[in-house]
Each structure stands twice: as C-alpha cells, then as structure tokens.
Amino acid sequence: MYLVQQGLLDIPVLYLSRYINQNKIEYYKHLQQVRITNNYEDWIIWMLNGVAETAENTIETIQGIKELMTDYKHRIRDKHYFYSQDIVNNLFKHPYTKIEFVARDLNISRQTAAKYLNKLTETNFLEIKKKGRSNYYMNMPLFNLLQNVNANEINNIKQNNDSHIVQTSKINNQN
C-alpha cells in the first residue's frame, strides 16, 4: 500500500505479506536479531530480497495472464462474431463469470449473454460448473495459472517448514 500511496504503483499488486507468511521463521529470526542487537541492516536486506522475489513472481503471473488474454482475444475473434474486448476483459476479471456479469458488463440482455457464454463453452474457452441453481463459466487456463501460483506458494511454505524441522533436529541432536 505504501508504494501505491507514493505513486510508485497504480494498484497494490505486490503481496509482500505472502512472502512473510511463507518465510515466517526467517522473518521472526531477523526481527529477533533487531530486538537483541539493534542491527536493522540484515532485516532490511531480507525484506528487500522479499520485495524483489515478490516482484519477480508477480511479473511472471501478470505476463502469464497477459499471454492468456492475447491468446483468447485472437481465438475468440477468429471463431465468434460477437468478439469484443469487453467480453475478453470480463473473462479475465475473475477466473469465472456468470450470465449476469456478462449482461451487465456488455450491456446486453440475459438471453444474449447466456448465448455468448454457451458458444464460448462449446468452443472450449470456458467450462460450466453448476453450484446450486447458478452456472459458473470457468476460465480454466486462468484458474490453473492462478492455482499454480498458489501451489508454488504452498510448496515454498512446505520447504521452509521442512528446512526448519531439519535445523531444529540438528540443534536438538547437538544438545
């Protein structure tokens, strides 16, 4: 948020809290060293490394989304008469959409929105998932891209926890 407030970012796309949560042990170790020794330098360097890693991951995710959007744009334009940038934007606003969202965003009737979404489903741009009485039209490549980001985060957390367990085990074995 600080970078947004300072005008360095338009929107808050760097989620540094994720990095801190993934590396809690290191974070608290550095914070404790600041308390004990009053040495901020190592903690600041660690945090700056976190900003750099977060920025790199964010850039990769944004590039992936951009590539998917471009692919969808060209393929929808080639296959469907109803192509518009607004429909592509709707499909990438979230990993899912609904008839109501398309009708609202494109300023079209519910019936026309349903027709568009069904055509996109027939040509494998979307998958329908039914929840209760509602149909959700899933953009699976976008969903998988975002899910992969989360899977990588989970793997990082597991690796950090495993590393901590090994370090703790070594310390316990020395005592």
Residue 157 confidence (pLDDT): 44
Q: Is residue 115's pLDDT more than 80?
A: yes
Q: Is residue 13's pLDDT more than 80?
A: no
The secondary structure of residue 127, as a DSSP letter, is E
Q: How confident is the model at residue 9 (pLDDT cuts 50, 70, 90)?
A: low
* Chain position carrying tokens 């338009």: 10
Coil/strand/helix, residue 128: strand
Give how many domains the chain has, as a whole number.
1
Tell me how far apart the alpha carbons of residues 92 and 85 are, in angstroms, rounded to a whole number.
Answer: 11
Which range is most confident: 3-12, 51-60, 113-122, 159-168?
A: 113-122
| Mean pLDDT in residue range 23-49 | 92
Q: How many CA atoms lie within 13 A of 117 on its CB side?
A: 26
For residue 32, the tally of other CB atoms under 10 A from its CB is 11
Share in percent of the chain as helix, strand, coil (round to 5):
75, 5, 20
Length of the chain in terms of residues written: 175
Q: Is residue 118 a contact partner of residue 137, using CB atoms and an 8 Å limit?
A: no
Expressed as residue numbers, the domain containing 126 is 2-174
Residue 18 confidence (pLDDT): 85
Mean pLDDT of the chain: 84
| Mean pLDDT in residue range 6-32 | 84
Q: Is residue 20's pLDDT more than 80?
A: yes
> 26 or 173: which carries more pLDDT confidence?
26
